[in-house]
């Protein structure tokens, strides 16, 4: 049932991962980033035009997996009385490019940590070898794939240096290994129309192996190639209007674990983004209720339950 009046909440309108996790684990769940101090292979090819390494690589990257988890979990738990649960999030750079023995050893360390209830690992579609997937499968980790879009022209514009075929191939092999996946999508890529974005959403809807979606607004960080380009990027208002148009087309069985690029200090941002994530979420919420938006309303995909992590 949808609420009316005050106390409106996004989860009544969207299938949010945070709500799914709360029900699944019985308490609020935090993803705790772990770095394996590696470099993404795409940096040797010039890197993605939007990528700013500082936003990925934490200051504690030289610590062991256990030390990193302890530091972050202690910080999150400080002053919080409620029961919290934690997932080790191997997101830094491209985890599929790391030697599998190193990755497996870090997974083993993380899963033995008494506070950790699961693992998430992220990689690029072209760094998804069978050996890597075997480790992911062995540790029952959830896999995030940097898919971004199905349009090859856009992947070229972003200097991703992989094609949509790489995504298709990776998802097929991920599914064959029985691994569940989430995808990162960039919304607001220059030259992409709403129809182009909806084609990507329809592709995501058609893949049962994809259970989760992270939506990112394209942010021009200072120091990136994007910041000095001539591309016109959506500002936050325009981005929210795009979300309003595409959310009804995203199948209701896909959880959404991100709606905006992570909260960033204003000193890192150039050009198109101002304000705070909390304010952006409020603005989105207002629009969602004013325009009576509901995830999946325009999608023909029927609901299926989400498998366990
Ligand atoms: S693949 Fe990821 S880490 Fe590598 S350059 Fe692109 S955005 Fe940065």
Instruction: Output DSSP code: residue 308.
Output: P
- For atom 8 of ligand 1, which residue has the closest CA? 51
Burial of 57 (0-12, 13-18, 19+ CB in 10 A): middle
- For residue 149, report the distance from its CA to the centre of ligand 1, in Å: 14
Predicted pLDDT at 92: 87
Q: Which two tokens stand for residue 168?
A: 């298709």
**Residue % of the chain over a pLDDT of 70:** 87
**DSSP letters for 51-91:** --HHHHS-TTTTS-HHHHHHHHHHHHHTT--S-EEEEEEE-
- For atom 7 of ligand 1, which residue has the closest CA? 51
CB 299 within 8 A of CB 198: no
- For residue 77, report the distance from its CA to the centre of ligand 1, in Å: 30
Q: Which of 48, 159, 189 to mutate to test the pocket of ligand 1 (most atoms within 8 A of CB)?
A: 48
| Rounded CA separation 277/296 (Å) | 24
- For residue 216, report the distance from its CA to the centre of ligand 1, in Å: 14
- For atom 6 of ligand 1, which residue has the closest CA? 48
Rounded to two decimals, the pTM is 0.91
Q: Which two tokens stand for residue 102?
A: 């190193």
Predicted pLDDT at 170: 98
Closest atom of ligand 1 relative to the 94 alpha carbon: 3
Q: What is the pLDDT of residues 115-154, one digit of tens each?
A: 999 999 999 999 999 999 999 999 999 999 999 999 999 9
- Who contacts 168 (Cβ-Cβ below 8 Å, separation ≥6)? none
Predicted pLDDT at 274: 67
Q: How far does the chain reach from its first CA to its final CA, in angstroms?
A: 27
CATH class of 10-290: alpha beta
Pocket lined around ligand 1, Cβ cut-off 6 Å: 40, 42-43, 47-48, 51, 56, 93-94, 124, 146
In what order do the strands lie in the sheet containing 116-123?
Answer: 28-33, 84-90, 116-123, 142-148, 181-187, 210-217, 255-258
**DSSP letters for 181-203:** EEEEEEE--TT--HHHHHHHHHH
- Who contacts 66 (Cβ-Cβ below 8 Å, separation ≥6)? 109, 110, 113
What residue ranges of the chain have pLDDT lower than 70?
A: 1-8, 54-59, 81, 262-275, 300-309
Q: Which of 219, 217, 216, 226 is nearest to 272 (CA)?
A: 219
- Who contacts 242 (Cβ-Cβ below 8 Å, separation ≥6)? 187, 188, 194, 197, 234
- For residue 173, report the distance from its CA to the centre of ligand 1, in Å: 22
Secondary structure of residue 162 in the 3-state scheme: coil
CB 96 within 8 A of CB 127: yes
- For residue 148, report the distance from its CA to the centre of ligand 1, in Å: 11
CA 33 vs CA 57, 72, 92, 242, 279: distances in Å: 10, 8, 7, 29, 24
Instruction: Output DSSP code: residue 108.
Output: H
Q: Which residue has the tokens 């940590």?
A: 113
- Who contacts 256 (Cβ-Cβ below 8 Å, separation ≥6)? 14, 15, 16, 17, 212, 213, 214, 215, 250, 295
Q: What are 18-22's contacts with CB under 8 Å, separation 24+?
A: 18/257, 20/255, 20/306, 21/85
Q: Which of 52, 94, 123, 159 to mutate to test the pocket of ligand 1 (most atoms within 8 A of CB)?
A: 94
Q: Which of 49, 3, 11, 46 is nearest to 186 (CA)?
A: 49
- For residue 124, report the distance from its CA to the centre of ligand 1, in Å: 8
């Amino acid at each position: 049932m949808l609420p009316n009046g005050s106390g409106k909440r996004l989860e009544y309108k969207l299938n949010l991962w945070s709500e799914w996790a709360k029900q699944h684990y019985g308490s609020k769940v935090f993803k705790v980033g772990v770095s394996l101090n590696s470099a993404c292979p795409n940096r040797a090819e010039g890197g993605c035009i939007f990528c700013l390494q500082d936003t990925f690589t934490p200051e504690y990257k030289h610590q062991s997996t256990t030390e990193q988890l302890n530091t972050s979990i202690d910080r999150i738990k400080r002053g919080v009385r409620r029961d919290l649960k934690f997932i080790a999030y191997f997101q830094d750079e491209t985890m599929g490019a790391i030697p599998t023995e190193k990755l497996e050893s870090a997974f083993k360390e993380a899963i033995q940590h008494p506070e950790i209830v699961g693992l998430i690992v992220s990689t690029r579609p072209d760094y998804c070898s069978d050996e890597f997937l075997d480790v992911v499968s062995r540790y029952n980790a959830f896999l995030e794939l940097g898919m971004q879009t199905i349009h090859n022209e856009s992947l070229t514009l972003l200097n991703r240096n992989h094609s949509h075929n790489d995504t298709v191939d990776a998802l097929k092999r991920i599914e064959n290994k029985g691994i569940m996946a989430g995808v990162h999508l960039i919304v607001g890529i220059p030259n992409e129309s709403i129809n182009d974005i909806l084609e990507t959403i329809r592709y995501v809807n058609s893949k049962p192996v994809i259970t989760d979606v992270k939506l990112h607004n394209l942010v021009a960080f200072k120091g990136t190639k994007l910041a000095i380009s001539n591309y016109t990027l959506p500002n936050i208002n325009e981005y929210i209007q795009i979300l309003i148009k595409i959310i009804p087309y995203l199948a209701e069985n896909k959880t959404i674990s991100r709606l905006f690029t992570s909260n960033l200090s204003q000193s890192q941002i150039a050009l198109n983004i101002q304000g705070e994530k909390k304010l952006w979420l409020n603005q989105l919420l207002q629009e969602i209720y004013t325009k009576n938006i509901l995830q999946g309303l325009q999608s023909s995909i029927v609901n299926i339950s989400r498998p366990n992590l």
